[in-house]
Amino acid sequence: MTFRYAGQDHAGVLTEDGVAPVLEINSKHDLRIPNSLLEIIQEDIREIPTKGVRPIPLADVEPRLPYAVPPKIWCIGLNYKSHAEDIAAVQPEEPGSFMKPASCMFQPGGNIFLPPPEVSGDVDAEGELGVIIGRSCRFVPVEKAREVIYGFTTTLDLTALDVLKKNPRYLTRAKSIDTFFSFGPVIVTADEVPDIDGLEVITEHNGAVCSRDFVRNMKHRPLNLISFHSDFFTLHPGDIISTGCPKGARIKESDHVRARIEGVGTVHAHVKQGERVPFGFRA
């Protein structure tokens, strides 16, 4: 995970007693592990010793985005039948994938700012399983897809449903509004998730379960998604594939939403109404 402590961001390893900072691990074990989670992924470092390192209690740190600018963010639409039914859409035969810009991300546990009503008045939040790519790859057979996964994380993906309803070609715009994506704060290495299909993806809305379903019920499961997309372009370390949600939670100001996957992690957010505040140009 990446965490903020004493005003600075650091990479660390989550333990039962807190988070062990990479800088302390390097000092204790005479290592040169990067103090950057994206660089750790790019160097495919998976085994990091924490023995003898005094962890910082989680209550004393602020969890942050694992990294702020992923090389690519790919999301999969309508991958669960229940989500397609919720918005009266038909599941596509091939993965309904789209990209999101890094500019739409917010910090885990932070705020989702709803756009002004004239931009969108119908937004949902969707808890999803995120796959983190661990090595550059192309034309990956399904049976080899696990080899290119660094780990798994939990994501919150948001959609301006009224924008999308106007025209399906507006999907990318409907998904790219500021504060419409977050992930983390923990990335679990792939070896700790032996049964991907057995993971249950849960979206909670104001403390109640809004939707839940197992990865095995996806129309296009994670290994297939990796293989399919690698036919079209090179995947790079740190790329995220957010694999879709069972059903989204319609949100409004003062709501609280949480995505939860047992064995992978939890990411949550508070909902606030954003304001139309122009900046960046002369009035």
| pLDDT of res. 86 | 73
Structure confidence at residue 90 (pLDDT): 77
Can the peptide bond before residue 185 be classed as cis, meaning omega within 30 degrees of 0? yes
When pLDDT is cut at 50, 70 and 90, the band that residue 129 belongs to is very high
d(CA 202, CA 179): 20
211 forms beta bridges with 203
Nearest to 187 by CA among 112, 237, 253: 237
**pLDDT for position 91:** 79
State phi, psi for 19 to the nearest 5 degrees: -120, 125
User: Exposed, middle or buried by CB within 10 Å (0-12, 13-18, 19+), for 232?
Assistant: exposed
Cα–Cα–Cα angle for 85, 114, 275, rounded to 5 degrees: 155
- Cα 1 from chain centroid? 13
d(CA 112, CA 79): 24
pLDDT beyond 90 at 59:
yes
Q: Which helix (H) or strand (E) holds 28?
A: helix 22-29
Domain boundary assignment for the chain: 2-64, 73-273
pLDDT digits (tens, 9 = 90+) for 197-255: 999 999 999 999 999 999 999 999 999 999 999 999 999 999 999 999 998 999 999 99
Indicate if the pLDDT at residue 139 is higher than 80. Answer: yes
pLDDT in tens, 8-57: 999 999 999 999 999 999 999 999 999 999 999 999 999 999 999 999 99
Q: What is the pLDDT of residue 33?
A: 98
Mapped to the 3 state alphabet, what secondary structure does 167-230 carry?
A: CHHHHHHHHCCCCCEEECCCCEEHHHCCCCCCCEEEEEECCEEEEEEEHHHCCCCHHHHHHHHH
Residue 17: half-sphere exposure toward Cβ, Cα within 13 Å: 9
pTM, to two decimals? 0.95
What pLDDT, on a 0 to 100 scale, did the predictor assign at position 119?
97
* Contact yes or no for 104/177 (Cβ under 8 A): yes
DSSP assigned state of 109 = T
Residue-wise pLDDT for 63-103, tens only, equals 999 999 999 999 998 898 877 777 777 778 899 999 999 99
pLDDT at 167 over 90: yes
Q: In b/e form, how buried is each residue of 159-179, taking b as 16+ CB within 10 angstroms?
A: bbbebbeeeeeebeebbbbeb
Per DSSP bridges, beta strands 249-251 and 188-189 are unpaired
Q: Which two tokens stand for residue 178?
A: 């500021």
Q: Which CATH architecture has domain 73-273?
A: Alpha-Beta Complex (3.90)
Instruction: Report which of 74, 79, 42 is spatially closest to residue 241, judged by C-alpha positions.
Output: 74
Q: Is the pLDDT of residue 121 over 80?
A: yes
